[in-house]
Amino acid sequence: MEVFRSLGSVRSYIKKCRLSGESIGFVPTMGCLHQGHLSLVEKSNLQDNRTIASIFINPLQFVKGEDFERYPRTESEDLERLSHSGVDMVFLPEESMIYPAGKVLTIAEGKISKILCGFHRPGHFDGVLQVVLKLLNLVQCDRIYLGQKDYQQWLLIKLMVEELFLETEVIPCPIIRESDGLAMSSRNRYLSESQRCLAAQFPKLLKKFHDYSGSTSTASAEEFIFKDLQKKGFEVDYVRILNSRDLSDSEDFSIPGNLRILGAVRLGKTRLIDNMAWGEQ
């Protein structure tokens, strides 16, 4: 595994790969790696000749009052994990390299990015799209692998790639969960012991949207689950049942195969997100 910290070294590596006709898979991360990240690497290893990972804690996707300063920096542990994962190259850029002074452009989407997490974290997805576009232009990958825990993020990146005619395939990868069902997340380490026990109820309550399909509207189901989460002790940002293809509203359960429930809750200062498609167990 090679580790690069400069744009020039990455460009030279990419050029060598291209000259030898090798396909490139890319796994962008913010570090603090867990098995969910490594599952993306595993999928890339199966499909591509070379797998590249990046570790960059992107300041532009943290909104005012969020945890940028306390976000865990675990570079040595992350590199150790990646060294056993089959990754061929890791890119570790400095902030000044990604955002040189006076050269910050803005990329934004005006619809999907404004709802759900975008409503509660205004500007967050602008920062996500900006850094991902920069990284895609740099690594010139054939495929980018993204976990679907951040379903809204995955959909926005897919839309950006299509709209800007980028020659990259956006590969959705399933959510990796703990044994009790909680979606793996770097932020889970912030939870106290009691909060961690309660957090396991989050995906269980989201699954209840299947139970309401024959007796009520999606709006009523959202309300029931919202209240159930509050009763358990969660502070709820949102619970929505939407069309999986574009996150548009769906007023009823008439086409359940296209539905997805998405939720965001808080336990203390820790924000958790999760989602699941119709029929997912």
- How many Å is the Cα radius of gyration of the chain? 19
CB burial class (10 A; 0-12, 13-18, 19+) of residue 181?
Answer: middle
Least confident window among 20-29, 157-166, 215-224: 215-224
Distance CA 2, CA 24 (A): 15
Alpha-carbon dihedral angle through residues 44, 280, 132, 3, given to the nearest 10 degrees:
-40
Query: Which one, of 10, 50, 53, 11, lies nearest residue 30 by Cα?
Result: 53
Catalytically annotated residues: 37
Helix (H, G, I), strand (E, B) or coil at 78: helix
Domains (range + CATH), the chain: 2-173 (3.40.50.620), 186-275 (3.30.1300.10)
Question: Left, alpha or beta for 116 (phi > 0: left; psi -120 to 50: alpha)?
Answer: left
H helices then E strands: how many in the chain? 10, 9
Model confidence at 281, in pLDDT bands (50, 70, 90)?
A: low
Distance CA 24, CA 244 (A): 28
Please, are residues 225 and 240 in contact by the beta-carbon 8 Å criterion?
A: no
Model confidence at 210, in pLDDT bands (50, 70, 90)?
A: confident
How far the first Cα of the chain sits from its last, in Å, is 37
Q: What is the pLDDT of residues 174-191, one digit of tens each?
A: 999 999 999 999 999 999
pTM: 0.95
